[in-house]
C-alpha cells in the first residue's frame, strides 16, 4: 500500500529534511491488520516506567498481550517531533540530568520553546512520579519520535514474531496554536513525515482530542487510521460527534467511564471501533472486555 498525500505541495513539505526523501519504502506487512483486540500500553507503561520513554516502550513490548504502543507527541522549537505529553516541562517528574529540581524559566518551560539539543539537559525518570509509586526510578530522556520508533522496531524483531502497532497522539488545541505548538496542519505533517519515513504507516493510528488534526489527516493522508479522543465531560451523542467531525474515524476513544452497552452499540452502528482510556484496574479491564470493546489503554499493561 502506498501512502501518498493528495496534494503535491504538502508532499514537498514532507520531504524537507529527509535526505533520501524515501517516504514510500516498504513497511513490515506481517500482522498489518489492526489487532482483533488492541491492548495498549499508555505512554508505554506509565505505571511501571518513566512515561513516553524508549524504556517504557520496551517494557510494554516485553508484555506478551500488548499489541500497541500508545504515546504522545510535541514539536520543538527547531521542528523536531518528540515523545512527551505535557505542553511544558512538568516539575512533578522532570529534573535536570544531575537530578536537581527545575528552576527559573525551565520550571514549567514550554517544550515548543526549546530546541531538541536543549531538551537534552532534562531527565524524566530520576525523580520518579508520586502518582505512580510502582514506577521505576531510572535516568531517561525525552526521545525523538524517530529514535523511539527505531528502538521499538529493533527490539520487537528480537522479542516477537509480529510487529507492534502504534497509537500516536498529537498534543494540540486551538487556543495554544503557535504558542505551545505549530498549527494543526504543520503539526500533523511533521508527525506523519516521521511515520512515513520509518515505514510504519500501515501499523499506525493518529489520535487526538483536537479534531482539526485528524480532520486534516483524514483529508490529506486518507490511508492513515485516525482515532477521536473524547473527554469524560462529553455530553454529545456519537452521531453528533461524527457529524461535527465530518467523517467517521476508525476509532472512537472515550474516557472509560463513558462506556456502556449503548455506547458500544452506537459506535458499532456508525462503523467505529471503541478503545477506552485509561483503565488501571483488573476489574475495570474485565468489565470493559465484557462490553465487547475493541481495545483498552492502560498505565498498567501488566494487568492485561
Pairing label, strands 68-75, 81-83: antiparallel
- Provide the 3-class DSSP secondary structure of residue 98: coil
Q: How far apart are CA 68 and CA 156, in angstroms?
A: 12
Helical (H) or strand (E) element with 263: helix 261-270
| Per-residue pLDDT tens over the stretch 189-248 | 999 999 999 999 999 999 999 999 999 999 999 999 999 999 999 999 999 999 999 999
pLDDT of the chain, 304 residues: tens digit per residue: 455 566 533 443 444 333 333 333 333 334 489 999 999 999 999 999 999 999 999 999 999 999 999 999 999 999 999 999 999 999 999 999 999 999 999 999 999 999 999 999 999 999 999 999 999 999 999 999 999 999 999 999 999 999 999 999 999 999 999 999 999 999 999 999 999 999 999 999 999 999 999 999 999 999 999 999 999 999 999 999 999 999 999 999 999 999 999 999 999 999 999 999 999 999 999 999 999 999 999 999 999 9
Burial letters 100-138, b for 16+ CB under 10 A, else e: eebeeebeebbbbebeeeebeebbbbbbbbeebeebeee
Domain range annotation of the chain: 8-87+140-303
Q: Which cell goes with 112? A: 515548543
Q: Is the model's pTM score more than 0.75?
A: yes
Whole-number Å distance between alpha carbons of 141 and 47:
17
The fold adopted by the segment(s) 8-87+140-303 is TIM Barrel (3.20.20)
Amino acid at each position: 500500500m502506498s501512502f501518498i498525500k493528495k496534494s503535491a505541495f504538502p508532499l514537498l513539505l514532507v520531504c524537507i529534511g529527509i535526505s533520501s526523501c524515501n517516504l514510500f519504502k516498504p513497511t513490515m506487512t506481517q500482522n498489518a491488520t489492526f489487532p482483533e483486540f488492541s491492548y495498549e500500553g499508555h505512554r508505554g507503561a506509565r505505571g511501571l516506567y518513566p512515561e513516553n520513554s524508549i524504556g517504557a516502550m520496551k517494557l510494554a513490548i516485553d508484555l506478551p498481550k500488548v499489541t500497541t504502543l500508545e504515546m504522545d507527541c510535541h514539536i520543538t522549537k527547531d521542528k523536531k517531533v518528540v515523545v512527551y505529553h505535557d505542553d511544558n516541562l512538568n516539575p512533578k517528574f522532570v529534573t535536570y540530568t544531575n537530578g536537581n529540581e527545575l528552576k527559573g524559566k525551565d520550571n514549567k518551560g514550554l517544550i515548543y520553546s526549546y530546541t531538541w539539543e536543549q531538551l537534552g539537559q532534562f531527565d524524566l525518570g530520576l525523580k520518579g512520579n508520586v502518582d505512580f509509586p510502582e514506577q521505576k526510578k531510572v535516568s531517561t530522556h525525552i526521545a525523538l519520535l524517530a529514535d523511539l520508533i527505531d528502538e521499538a522496531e529493533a527490539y520487537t524483531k528480537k522479542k516477537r514474531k509480529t510487529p507492534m502497532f502504534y497509537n500516536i497522539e498529537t498534543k494540540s488545541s486551538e487556543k495554544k496554536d503557535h504558542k505551545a505548538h505549530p498549527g494543526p496542519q504543520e503539526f500533523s505533517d511533521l508527525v506523519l513525515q516521521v511515520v512515513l519515513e520509518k515505514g510504519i504507516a500501515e501499523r499506525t493510528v493518529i489520535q487526538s482530542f483536537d479534531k482539526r488534526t485528524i480532520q486534516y489527516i483524514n483529508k490529506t493522508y486518507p490511508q492513515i487510521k485516525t482515532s477521536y479522543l473524547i473527554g469524560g465531560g462529553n455530553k454529545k451523542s456519537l452521531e453528533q460527534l461524527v457529524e461535527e467531525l465530518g467523517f467517521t474515524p476508525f476509532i472512537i476513544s472515550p474516557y472509560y467511564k463513558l462506556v456502556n452497552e449503548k455506547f458500544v452499540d452506537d459506535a458499532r452502528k456508525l462503523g467505529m471501533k471503541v478503545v477506552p482510556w485509561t483503565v488501571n484496574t483488573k476489574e475495570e479491564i474485565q468489565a470493559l472486555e465484557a462490553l465487547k470493546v475493541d481495545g483498552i489503554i492502560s498505565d498498567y499493561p501488566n494487568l492485561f
